[in-house]
Homo-oligomer: A and B are copies of this chain.
């Protein structure tokens, strides 16, 4: 709740963009709490922030946990930050109980998971895992025109007092706690989700270039109106993406019109496509059909389709999945296995180390919205399962 005051917006929401002053304030609060239990702080060139509690065996690979601290522009108080705070709480509980594990336990706050200020999301975990070089997104700009590389350099300059660590490393295991962001646990009346994997995501942008013209004089039949072609394109994509089973997630959620003034016909429209499915083959087929679908639908504009993000569905590792299930059982929590509808930084750790996640219920399944809510009891139950799992994994 203290962290939720940093970037608070009406309706109990949070707007804390990555690499913003609010992001730094939240990180400094985390560091202050970590210092109280003598944990070590470090940061890498992607601005991923690590809090380490040493184990008895300095040669053993650490167990990694954590999530992210940035939010959506109209986000809630729990998405991401819960997993970081739960990880820190785990370290504090071990500290208070005088328990020292064999392996070190590290809590990470990944940079820019949301992709709200800079798309795509998960830049920090993608950089750390070697999925893409950290310079990949240098020229991505936020709504104010600030380049990602410049925002990152500014952040690292302001955090220059923190010890640096290299990107990567191979942890013994990675376990991320998170709110479900969906309705399944609440509907089932259960405490804990033992996450079995993450559906795949593909992100695209479509740019339609027509010609701006005077809204009063240009005959409608002679226009190259990018708004009207967007209508045609999205209508055709709705057909392509229609799924009677309602498993496929197709979203057009960002639209940028140029010049975006009421009495000049739109000369250019750029819109985004977010497409997700747990079946990699379906996701491949639907995503690959986007370009031809848009090109067939538009009437007057030039079309540019770009893909910005392509994450295949992943299955989590039995070591972690079974550890979480056993921890829930031992703690007396009710639990079920389920896949994640949202993508998470965990997705990018999968190729490097045994990975898993633990979910707690989201009220009404609402997330990316100020109304996002999980009760203190639900959050505490998830944290207890996290601590038990970390201790089991860290020995």
Contact = CB atoms under 8 A, between A and B. Distances in A.
Interface of A: 72-75, 114-116, 119, 121, 180-182, 199, 201, 203, 205, 211-221, 225, 227-228, 231, 234-235, 238, 243, 246, 248-267, 272-274, 276, 340-343, 365-369
A274 B248 contact: no
Please give me the 4 A-B residue pairs with the lowest Cβ-Cβ distance, nearest first: A217-B341, A262-B272, A182-B217, A215-B251
Contacts of A274: 215-216, 262-263
B231 A262 contact: no
B254 A262 contact: yes
A252 to B, nearest CB: 5
Nearest to A275: B215
B253 A261 contact: yes
Given A220-B246, A341-B217, A74 B181 contact: no
Main secondary structure of the interface of A (DSSP, over half): loop
A29 to B, nearest CB: 25
A367 B217 CA distance: 9
Contacts of A368: 212-215, 263-265
Given A181-B217, A217-B341, 17 more contacts: A73-B261, A114-B261, A116-B261, A119-B261, A181-B216, A213-B366, A215-B274, A216-B276, A225-B251, A227-B234, A231-B234, A251-B263, A252-B266, A253-B260, A253-B263, A254-B262, A255-B255
B235 A220 contact: no
11 contacts: A203-B262, A211-B369, A213-B369, A216-B249, A216-B276, A217-B365, A227-B252, A251-B265, A253-B261, A253-B262, A256-B260
Given A213-B367, A215-B253, A220-B250, A259 B116 contact: yes
A220 B365 CA distance: 13
Most buried by B among A182, A211, A259: A259
Nearest to A261: B116
Given A217-B367, A341-B214, A255 B250 contact: no
Most buried by B among A115, A263, A366: A263
Contact of A259 (B74, B199, B212, B231): B74
A116 B262 CA distance: 7
Contacts of A342: 214, 216-217
A371 to B, nearest CB: 8
B249 A367 contact: no
B248 A254 contact: no
A272 B264 CA distance: 11
Contact of A227 (B218, B253, B276): B253
Contacts of A182: 214, 217-218
Contact of A243 (B205, B220, B246, B248): B220
A375 to B, nearest CB: 19
A276 B214 CA distance: 12
A274 B75 CA distance: 33
A234 B119 CA distance: 28
A260 B365 CA distance: 21
Most buried by B among A212, A225, A250, A258: A212
